[in-house]
Amino acid sequence: MARIAVLGAGGVGSAVARFLAREGHAVTVVEQFTPDHDQGSSYGSSRIIRKTYPDGFYTALMREAYPLWAELEREAGEKLFARTGGLFFAPEAHPDLTAIRRALADNQVSFEELDPAACARKFPGFRLREGEAGVFEPEAGFLRASVCVRAQLRLASAHGAQVRAGVHVETLESRTESVALVLAGGEVLEFDRVVVCAGPWTAPLLARAVSLPFMVTRQVYCHFEPTEPLARFSAERFPVWIDFGTNFYGFPHDEHLPGVKVALHEPGPPTEPHRVDREIHESDREPLRRACAEHLPGLSPRVAFEKVCLYTMTPDHDFVVDRLPGEPRVTVVGGLSGHGFKFTVLLGRIAAWMATDQRVPWELSRFALARFA
């Protein structure tokens, strides 16, 4: 049994803590805020889950993630995954559509082709424009992000993990017999292994050991009030969707929040995680309103709910999953680049294997730190 610290209690941290604690290790989760806080990237009611990627590498990884989400849902005994199906579209000649079809076919993922007329029949609340084409993936949907995080922390605690909230780690120190966490105020905690998955705070925390080219960006999403009956946008009748031509995306109505959620998957203004502008401006809302006007004629410009969150971007938008150079007792998971929540249960599984020197059964050199050298 190893003493293992997990730094960060978000999507990845909660997952790795659950796996390690279930396997009998002495796990301490160290979280600088409260569990399920809204200062980073893992908070909220919805994150898209899909196998539809232009890059078949991620389609293949999602094939491994889906059973782990199903296992978590069974173990937690609550609904975490709303299977709404997913509509993924672009102009007919867009190269991403060709790549998506190839990636889905290569990985034996079923999908349906939709032109504007077929889309209107299937989803009356959604409009494809003339010249656009869509792919519908029935297995796609959305994860209830905060519910997933809380469930994994609860299960980790049930297996003996300790959660220390409101604790700020100043630095990590390599010692002969341990890795030490030096906390604000001077307290020192010693562990056999450490997993760092602190989201936008990862790079500053590890700056003495490695230079991580992570860029933290400010992201905004809005929920718009419908002008049509809300039932038309319910999870039973409306899909998650991504416009690969513009990178706008959205969700069905979630009964936990008002309106219908729309966002933009493009890096926003660079920021620092402790200095984020949390106020939302008209310049944030207007691009989302335009996306609604083009594809969701049943939504009004009125905002019912809005929020700021963070991306932690890598230069190539691939994740980082690796051991710290010169200190193999520290495993780092980060740089999820705005598309990582659906992978967090799988990344937690992988990080738990790496932290305990077990073999990872997939080729993950794309996630190595050496690519930035």
The domains of the chain are located at 3-43+146-210+316-372, 55-141+215-313
pLDDT tens sequence across 72-131: 999 999 999 999 999 999 999 999 999 999 999 999 999 999 999 999 999 999 999 999
pLDDT of amino acid 255: 87
The CATH fold assigned to 55-141+215-313 is D-Amino Acid Oxidase; Chain A, domain 2 (3.30.9)
Q: Do domains 3-43+146-210+316-372 and 55-141+215-313 have the same CATH topology?
A: no
Q: What is the DSSP string of 215-229?
A: EEEEEEEEEEEESS-
Query: Confidence band (pLDDT; 50, 70, 90) for 266?
Result: very high
Share of the chain above pLDDT 70, in %: 100
Query: Is the predicted pLDDT of residue 331 greater than 90, yes or no?
Result: yes
**CATH homologous superfamily of 3-43+146-210+316-372:** FAD/NAD(P)-binding domain (3.50.50.60)
Whole-angstrom distance, CA of residue 55 vs CA of residue 364:
14
Using alpha carbons, select from 110, 195, 154, 142 the residue that is nearest to residue 342: 142
Is pLDDT of 36 > 90?
A: yes
State pLDDT tens for residues 196-212: 999 999 999 999 999 99
Q: Is the pLDDT of residue 250 over 90?
A: yes
CA dist list (Å): 211 to 121, 136, 195, 207, 215: 51, 40, 17, 6, 12
Residue whose token pair is 């030096």: 182
